[in-house]
Amino acid sequence: MSLVLDALTLQAGYNAALVATGAALLGVAAGASGSFLLLRKRALVSDAVAHAALPGIVLAFMVMVAFGGAGRSLAGLLLGAALSGGVGLLAMTWITKRTRLAEDAAIGAVLGVFFGAGVVLLTLVQTMQAGRQAGLEGFLLGSTAGMLREDAILIALGGAVVLALCWLMRRPMTLVAFDPAYAATLGYNTRAIDLAMMGLATAVTVIGLKLVGLVLIVALLIIPPAAARFWTERTGVMVWVAGGIGGAGAYLGAAISATAPALPTGPIIVLVLAAGFTLSMLFAPARGILGGALRHARLRRQMQRGE
């Protein structure tokens, strides 16, 4: 218990404190940007982008090794992930617009093809001496073990940039999420804003791969806004409540993970977020189950007294 308290109060070491702070900023950015995805009903796009990033991670590692590097630079690996994830996003967009397939079918196709290719490449890399020591499997479920100070700073800065962009673009993204036609009449370029929305989600997905893992990064984007929806009806408030839930969940999960480095970080963060979602679903006064039951009982008593 003392180890967990030390981690929660940033007393578990400099690196652990940096990782927890970076995770918190990433969680706030994920909750805020994920709110627009949820409102736009495009929540699973981030899942496909995350799985599409795996081939890019492995190929980036192979390129760095081929040029004499160790292949463990997080910036280089995330650059490869961003390029591969971007190609996956463009492929989904092209399939949806050029064929009669619905977006969910395009998501399934891109997710399966890219992830399958990534697993094959990862298996091949594991046969290399450098590949066995690279720790690329940590990108599947997330890991803070062996994370360097520079890695934590990179994650924190990336989360801060995404959060700032969400703040600057909150009004046009809200309009496009609810009513693209009305946003167009106001002079907004709805396609560009939609792409920016997807770009922010892609950025959070790529930045969080090392911490949460590509299998579960979608949970960091979706669970916080889903939980925030129980607390408020106002979109602006929902975005920042989601950011708070995401930041708190990521911080607690990263702190707990720091005390148990053998456990994958991603599942711990997701379990903490799931607990927050459950509490919100049950106890939130606006739309929670118990709050709704209490309002219903109060209304029934008022009607009985009126009779």
Residue type, 194: D
Looking at residue 146, its pLDDT comes to 63
Is the four-CA dihedral 167, 195, 200, 37 of positive or negative sign?
positive
Interatomic CA distance for residues 58 and 63, integer angstroms? 9
Between residues 130 and 253, which one has the greater pLDDT? 253
**pTM attached to this predicted model:** 0.85
Interatomic CA distance for residues 232 and 284, integer angstroms? 9
Band of pLDDT at residue 295, cut at 50, 70 and 90: confident
Residue-range domains of the chain with CATH: 2-306 (1.10.3470.10)
- Which residues touch 120 (CB under 8 Å, ≥6 apart)? none
CA 128 to chain centre: 31
Band of pLDDT at residue 245, cut at 50, 70 and 90: very high
For residue 67, the 8-state DSSP code is T
Band of pLDDT at residue 11, cut at 50, 70 and 90: low
Residue-wise pLDDT tens digits, 196-244: 888 888 888 888 888 888 888 889 999 999 999 998 888 888 888 999 9
Say if residue 153's pLDDT is above 70.
Answer: yes
Q: Residues 279, 75: contact at Cβ < 8 Å?
A: no
Element (H, E) at 285: none
Interatomic CA distance for residues 160 and 26, integer angstroms? 7
Band of pLDDT at residue 131, cut at 50, 70 and 90: low
Looking at residue 2, its pLDDT comes to 59
Mean pLDDT of the residues in the chain = 83
Looking at residue 133, its pLDDT comes to 57
Cα separation of the two ends of the chain:
56
**CB-side neighbour CA atoms (13 Å) of 306:** 6
Mean of pLDDT values over 256-266: 77
Between residues 58 and 304, which one has the greater pLDDT? 58
Mean of pLDDT values over 40-62: 87
Tell me what percent of the chain is helix, strand and coil, each rounded to the nearest 5.
80, 0, 20
Looking at residue 297, its pLDDT comes to 76
Looking at residue 276, its pLDDT comes to 93
Say if residue 107's pLDDT is above 80.
Answer: yes
Looking at residue 207, its pLDDT comes to 87
